[in-house]
Structure formats: structure tokens, C-alpha cells
Amino acid sequence: MMNAAYVYLQIYRLFDDVTPVRADCGKLCNKACCKGDDSGMLLFPGEEEVFKLLNPDGIRVEKTNLQYEFEGKKHTVSLAVCDGTCDRFQRPLACRIFPLTPYLSKDGSMEIIIDPRGKGICPMAKALLLEDFDGAFVRNVRRAFTLLMKNARFGAFMKMYSEYIDEFGKFYD
Ligand code: SF4
Ligand code: SF4
């Protein structure tokens, strides 16, 4: 992806002042989403370039075993592993949009949904419907992924990612 770091840094700004709900939801749950001891947050295609550039304290990038194919080549998805104390202006996109996620429906259209992976962690993901989230937040998540979906490699990633999300959805439906 050309200039991927630049694209993501622009997208990050959509979430500097806009959060899932107007209140500080971290007070509800003592920031449960930053305390996971499992794996970290998946990085979207090319997003690892941001972390090469910023090299923020407390976040390291690792490879996952998730792969997608684009133009005959396999691409491996990266993961940001953190110690739960990042500078919020340097957090990855997945953290900015949590507990929402983009999702490609069977007809190939992009939707924004509550992330089934969040339902075991996040009280908002468990209790709220999409329309309960701050409208500006949902709009900005949609804007971010509408923009990213213009890139064909991102589309290839989204197909794999949506199947991956489906696997989690089965446990929570
Ligand atoms: S787990 Fe949910 S409610 Fe808690 S800080 Fe994270 S997004 Fe907010
Ligand atoms: S990178 Fe930051 S926002 Fe994301 S889970 Fe870690 S501490 Fe939380």
C-alpha cells in the first residue's frame, strides 16, 4: 500500500476527539479492553508502517498466523501487542474503533457491526445496540473503512477478516 502510514495517520485523527459514547466508558469497566492478557489488536493492511515510523513505547508488532491472498501473493496479518498503557494518540485503529468493527456481508457490502470479539470483554458491546453508540463515532468508523475499502488489497483482507469475525459471532449469537 502506497503511503500507508500517512493514510492511517489521517484516519487516526477521526478518533482523536470522537469516542464510542460521550461518557468515559473506561470508568465503567476499568478499561477492560486494554487489560487483555491474550493477544493484542490486529493491524489492518499496511498499518504496521505506522508503528515502524512512530515506534511508540509499549507497543510491539508481531506476525499472526492469519493470512489473506492478494494478486497471487499471501500477506500475513500483523498484531500490535501492548502493555496496556499506550499513548492514546498512538493507538492502533482497532483500538480506536473498539468495540465496533467493519464487516463484509455475504453480498460484499461493508457494514459496521458490534465486534463479537468484544462481547466477552466490553460491557458496552454486551449491552448496547449500534444505534446506542455516539452517532459521530459510528459515522467516523464508517468513513474510515469506506476510504480504506477503495484499496483492492484492503478488500481482499476484509474478506478473510469477515470470515474470521464470523467464527467468533457463532459463539455469541
Ligand atoms: S471495554 Fe468497552 S466500555 Fe470498557 S473501556 Fe473498553 S470500550 Fe469502553
Ligand atoms: S494499544 Fe493502547 S488502546 Fe490499544 S489495547 Fe493497548 S493500551 Fe489499550
Whether residue 165 contacts residue 103, with contact meaning beta carbons closer than 8 Å, is answered with yes
- Per the CB < 8 A criterion, the answer to whether 121 and 172 are in contact is no
Is 56 contained in some domain? yes
- Whether 25 is in a domain gets the answer no
The verdict on residue 146 lying in a domain is yes
Domain membership of residue 68 as a residue range: 4-11+32-172
Whether the Cβ atoms of residue 111 and residue 100 lie closer than 8 Å to each other:
no
pLDDT at 146: 97
What is the structure's pLDDT at 1?
A: 53
Q: Measured in angstroms, how far is the CA atom of residue 82 from the centroid of ligand 1?
A: 16
* Residue 124, in any domain of the structure: yes
Round to the nearest angstrom and report the end-to-end CA distance of the chain. Answer: 35
| 67/161 Cα distance (integer angstroms) | 9
Quick one: pLDDT at residue 28? 83
Per the structure, the count of domains in the chain is 1
* Helical (H) or strand (E) element with 6: helix 4-13
| pTM score over 0.85 | yes
Beta bridge partners, 75, equal 68
> Mutation test of ligand 2: which of 54, 91, 93, 115 has the most ligand atoms closer than 8 Å to its C-beta?
91
* pLDDT in the model for residue 35: 85
| Binding site membership of 84 for ligand 1 (Cβ less than 6 Å) | no
The pLDDT assigned to 5 comes to 95
Distance 20 CA to ligand 1 centre (A): 9
Report the pLDDT value the prediction gives residue 71, as an integer from 0 to 100: 96
Kindly state whether residue 36 falls inside one of the protein's structural domains. Answer: yes
CA nearest ligand 2 atom 7, residue: 84
In a domain, 129, yes or no: yes
Q: What pLDDT sits at residue 37?
A: 62
* Ligand 1 probe mutation, 115, 121, 122, most atoms within 8 A of CB: 122
| 79: enclosing H helix or E strand | strand 73-82
Closest-CA residue, ligand 1 atom 3, reads 25
Each of the 173 residues of the chain gets a pLDDT tens digit; together they read 558 999 999 999 999 999 999 889 998 899 999 986 656 899 999 999 999 999 998 899 999 999 999 999 999 999 999 988 889 899 999 999 999 999 999 898 999 999 999 999 999 999 999 999 999 999 999 999 999 999 999 999 999 999 999 988 776 65
**Ligand 1 center–CA 96 separation, angstroms:** 11
Report yes or no on 75 lying in a domain. yes
Does residue 20 belong to any structural domain of this protein? no
β-strand 41-42 against 73-82: which pairing, if any? Answer: antiparallel
